Amino acid sequence: MLLADSPSPSPAATMAAPVATQIPDGTYAYQLRQGGSAIGTSTITVSRAGGALKVHEVANLQVTYTLDSTLDPATFSTTSLHAVYATTPLDVTFGATSFQEHVQGKTVTLPTVAGAKGVMVIDGPVMTGLFLSPAQIHATGSATLTGVSPGSARSLACAFVAASASTRPAKVASADNGYVTKGLPSGEVTIWFDPTTLVPQDMEVPAQGISIVLVPAKASMNGQMASLGPTPLPTAFPHFTSTDVTFVSRDGTRLAGTLTVPLKATAAMPAVVLVHGSGPVDRNEQVGPNPIFLELSNALSNDGFVVLRYDKRGIGKSGGDATKTTRDDLLDDARAGIAFVQKLHDVDPDRVFVLGHSEGGELAPSLAADGAPVRGIALMAPPAIPLDQILVQQTSRGLTGAAKTKAIADENKELAMIKAGTANPYGAGPWLRSSFGVDPAVVIQKVPCPILILQGGKDFQVLAKDLPRLVDAAKAAHRDITVHVFPNDDHLFITVPGSQPAVPAEYLAPHRVDPAMISALLAWLHTKM
């Protein structure tokens, strides 16, 4: 039967008694869905042998997360964890009052939540913690667990309350029980589970518009998920050649990319070097099914520009170690890309532009200010405030009152650990430390070439309200600057119709880059050639 509506007794007190084996051994395959389309998968295997309880998970959402957990069979609490996040391995051991994370030769010790009787792992699409939580609550009698995020080396309180009958989705069986989580960075998650086995059947994340649904065994294709469904939209018919190339950065790292050259050129052509946003991004700047740089590259080369796009170091076919990359490395890589295209016989070396998106929009002004031989820089969604301030904004987005105050305090604590070298979230510590303190408004005043800024009005990662700070600084220094704001575009320049707000789930369904933004970019490039 459904748990009582609030006010209600604790979730543990209202739990229907399970059979002797909670969460039977087996493989449980889940699909992450948004707008009716599958956007990711998580496959969880539970096994018991020799008195040990093991949980193995492989989660896929843009990148792959693999987790192997050892649990206390009496409480379903994790005692140790080995994980690989993309390419970064880490190990965590859990004690009664603290846990220790070991990653890249460093150890971080963080406290568990006072009064909590178990721990749950919460990171990106990782499902292990939510999957185990009904069994943990039943076994421990506690409705508060310590949420552990190995990727960001942090802990937080995760409370559970009974779900209301009015929130039950039509697809959820009437016999299933439900919990609502409180305190997760992603927002509330409602977990509907079988009261006999305690296996979650459906999980809803309203803030992100995502459902996580158990796929019946007969539909799981021997444990393998069916096709994810969303694929990139087709690009325009190419009027250019496309060639895989490599070039070498200052420290000897070999970078791999793609060069597109317009057909039927009669003279040396202008060129554009694309510089990506943050994270483990390939040459296409693929986000979910959306290859942002592939679409831009095709549009640019169809309009007469030679274009270089490349895999970040340590990603795709490029050499190097992504987990050791610093901001200076990224600048050197972009400089090497500029030098590479300048030497091509098809390219006019005096008409090379840089197009940077997000983090690339922060790097491009530094390239120009430091003397890179570029004709102009185009900045898509460039940060207007320092990175550490942006991270605080992003962490506290949508929160109010005490919850917002706590989120800001927790984020500032984590930032201090990153700066001190005692935290290395997702293996990005070196890049974060080298980027903290860089003020885009100071750098842009030193740019000697023309500047184009393109900004989405519904961008929730780099806020449009901060843009005047960057523009005003450039104008005060009498820079040549052009600005276009697209009111309904998000951070990827996906257009969100009407008054509908932008949400992260948009990234996970196929969209076109706003053609109005591409038109504005092309028009500016032609005026500056």
Non-local CB neighbours of 241 within 8 Å, separated by 6+ positions? 260, 261, 263
Strand partners, 49: 52
Q: What is the DSSP letter of 459?
A: -
What stretches of 198-239 adopt beta strand conformation (E)? 200-205, 210-215
**pLDDT tens digit string along 456-498?**
999 999 999 999 999 999 999 999 999 999 999 999 999 998 8
Same-domain status, 371 and 402? no
Structure tokens at 522: 């092309």
Q: What is the DSSP letter of 489?
A: B
* Domain assignment present for 110: yes
* Domain assignment present for 226: no
* Domain assignment present for 293: yes
Same-domain status, 447 and 424? no
How many angstroms separate the CA atoms of 415 and 263, rounded? 49
Closest CA to 194 of 180, 211, 173: 173
Same-domain status, 320 and 418? no
**pLDDT tens digit string along 137-149?**
888 888 888 888 8
Three-class SS of residue 404? helix
- Reported as a pLDDT band with limits 50, 70 and 90, residue 217 is low
Same-domain status, 516 and 486? yes
Closest CA to 379 of 223, 274, 298, 480: 274
Last residue of a domain, one of 422, 437, 452: 437
Q: What is the mean pLDDT of residues 25-42?
A: 80
- Reported as a pLDDT band with limits 50, 70 and 90, residue 225 is very low
Strands 210-215 and 240-248 turn out to be unpaired
3-state secondary structure 148-191: EEHHHCEEEEEEEEECCHHHCCCCCCCCCEEEEEECCCCCCCEE
Structure tokens at 452: 């184009």
Same-domain status, 407 and 503? no
Domain containing residue 418: 387-437
**pLDDT tens digit string along 374-417?**
999 999 999 999 999 998 888 787 778 888 888 888 889 889 99
Closest CA to 492 of 527, 458, 449: 458
* Residue 3 predicted with pLDDT over 90: no
Same-domain status, 484 and 337? yes
Q: What is the mean pLDDT of residues 170-188?
A: 82
- Name the amino acid, one letter, at 127: M
Strand partners, 192: 178, 202
CATH code for the domain in which residue 305 is found:
3.40.50.1820
* Domain assignment present for 88: yes
Q: Cβ atoms within 10 A of the Cβ of 51, count? A: 6
- Name the amino acid, one letter, at 68: D
Taken in order 249, 362, 184, 496, the sign of the CA dihedral is: negative
**Residue 32: predicted pLDDT:** 84
* Domain assignment present for 231: no
- Reported as a pLDDT band with limits 50, 70 and 90, residue 116 is confident
**Residue 286: predicted pLDDT:** 87
Between 308 and 502, the higher pLDDT residue: 308
Strands 481-486 and 451-456 turn out to be parallel
Structure tokens at 164: 């209301």
Contacts 24+ apart (CB under 8 A), 462-468: 462/358, 462/361, 462/381, 462/382, 462/383, 462/384, 462/390, 462/491, 463/384, 463/393, 466/383, 466/384, 466/385, 467/384, 468/384
**Residue 108: predicted pLDDT:** 81
Phi, psi of 278 (to 5 degrees): -75, 160
Closest CA to 308 of 369, 356, 245: 245
How many angstroms separate the CA atoms of 364 and 368, rounded? 6
* Domain assignment present for 6: no
* Domain assignment present for 128: yes
How many angstroms separate the CA atoms of 351 and 529, rounded? 6
Same-domain status, 400 and 431? yes
**Residue 229: predicted pLDDT:** 47
How many structural domains are present in the chain? 3
Mean pLDDT comparison of 178-187, 207-216, 308-317, highest-scoring range: 308-317
Strands 376-380 and 347-357 turn out to be parallel
Phi, psi of 409 (to 5 degrees): -65, -40
Same-domain status, 261 and 205? no
pTM exceeding 0.85: no
Same-domain status, 290 and 308? yes
Structure tokens at 416: 């201090």
Same-domain status, 161 and 106? yes
Residues above pLDDT 70, as percent of the chain = 91
Cβ atoms of 53 and 71 within 8 Å: the answer is yes
Same-domain status, 174 and 294? no
**Residue 35: predicted pLDDT:** 64
Same-domain status, 116 and 247? no
DSSP 316-361: TT--S-GGG--HHHHHHHHHHHHHHHHTSTTEEEEEEEEEEETHHH
